[in-house]
Amino acid sequence: MTKGELRKDVLKRRAAMIPEEVAEKSSTIVNKLISLEEWRRAGTIMAYVDFRNEVRMGELIRHCLAVGKRIAVPITDIAGKVLTPSEILHYPEDLVPGAWGILEPAPGCVRPLEPGELDMVVVPGVAFDLNGDRLGYGGGFYDRFLPRTKPGTVFLAPAFELQIMENVYPGPHDCPVHILVTEQRVLRF
């Protein structure tokens, strides 16, 4: 199976999940995630804003705001192929549809952070393997962004168990994650 076929297969299976299943499994994953020691130590976090049946991040973002963690979400520059973390203070009020219809900070709510300020990046993905390798959506945005963070920044991926594959065919520029959290387990690499 090629990367493209794998991506298409996993996205099709994820799209078939009913909203109640996505909500229930997302809540289980977020609760596991916020109980991790790495999470407790992180003061400044960037999380993706979920789209198309990804693990839902609203509960996580609200939790950050409630407990006083700095939380940023990415602004996507499609032309420059760059992600910029932007701190949000109100969720979801600070956000409007941006690149590909994914919610991003509204023009008056852009508060850019340097990648080096982040203690943790919550990374989206299509599929993951048991080595922490990640198959993204094909644009390379996170594979270009993650190396710009400081040493010691934790890359954490929330994923549904159906996204765990034997092999995601990582390339030389693909950035693996340090922690993978599913509704059934927490894996550290």
At 89, the amino acid letter reads: L
3-state SS, the chain, equals: CCHHHHHHHHHHHHHCCCHHHHHHHHHHHHHHHCCCHHHHHCCEEEECCCCCCCCCCHHHHHHHHHHCCEEEEEEEECCCCEEEEEEECCCCCCEEECHHHCEEECHHHCCECCHHHCCEEECCCCEECCCCCEECCCCCHHHHHHHHCCCCCEEEEECCHHHECCCCCCCCCCCCCCEEECCCCEEEC
Q: Is 136 among the annotated ligand-binding positions? A: yes
Residue 135 labeled ligand binder: yes
141 is in an annotated binding site: yes
59 marked as part of a ligand binding site: no
Q: Tell me if 139 is assigned to a ligand binding site.
A: yes
- Cβ atoms 67, 75 nearer than 8 A: no
For residue 74, whether the previous peptide bond is cis, meaning omega lies within 30 degrees of 0, is: no
| Residue 48, annotated as binding a ligand | no
Cβ neighbours of 8 (radius 10 Å): 13
144 marked among binding-site residues: no
Q: Is 6 annotated as a binding residue?
A: yes
**Does 138 belong to an annotated binding site?**
yes
The rounded distance, in Å, linking the Cα atoms of 57 and 103 is: 12
Q: Is residue 140 a known part of a binding site?
A: yes
Report the binding-site residues for ATP: 3-7, 134-142
Binding residues: 3-7, 49, 54, 134-142
Give the residue numbers of the binding site for substrate: 49, 54
